[in-house]
Amino acid sequence: MLRESVKSKDGDFLLDSITAGVTNDQDVQYAGLLAEFAEAVVERDKINIKILSKSIIDKMGAEAFVDVAATAAGFHGVVRIADATGIPVVNEMSLGVRTELKVDHFYASGLGDRGGQ
């Protein structure tokens, strides 16, 4: 999925959005709001998920929220599958961006069910 996303933007993307957060909509309407929701899902922040869900429904509509929630769940599921199959975090594809993305400092690396350190 990510490989195709990079192709669609001709490789032009902001890696610091991963570590510093989305600072503008980057040609995606409500990108900041969607990123906040994704962060809340990963952090399992039930209170913030509820607040952001309402905000997404208010701004984008209930049908769009279903798509947003399904996308977040899909990505969350892909990560769990990768974890379960033992795909290493460090591989030749990640070496070039590992430091820039501060992979070792992701808050999710500390989650007990994610094989964190």
Q: Distance (Å, rounded) from C-alpha 60 to C-alpha 9?
A: 24
Give the per-residue pLDDT at 115: 42
Q: Alpha-carbon Rg of the chain, whole angstroms?
A: 15
Domains held by the chain: number:
1
CA–CA–CA angle 110, 15, 100 (5° rounding): 60
Give the per-residue pLDDT at 13: 60
End-to-end Cα distance, the chain: 26
User: Domain range holding 14?
Assistant: 2-114
Give the per-residue pLDDT at 65: 97
pLDDT in tens, the chain (117 residues): 455 555 665 556 665 655 566 666 567 788 889 988 988 988 889 999 999 999 999 999 999 999 999 998 888 777 777 767 766 666 666 666 767 766 666 555 555 554 443
Q: Distance (Å, rounded) from C-alpha 48 to C-alpha 46?
A: 6
Give the per-residue pLDDT at 15: 59
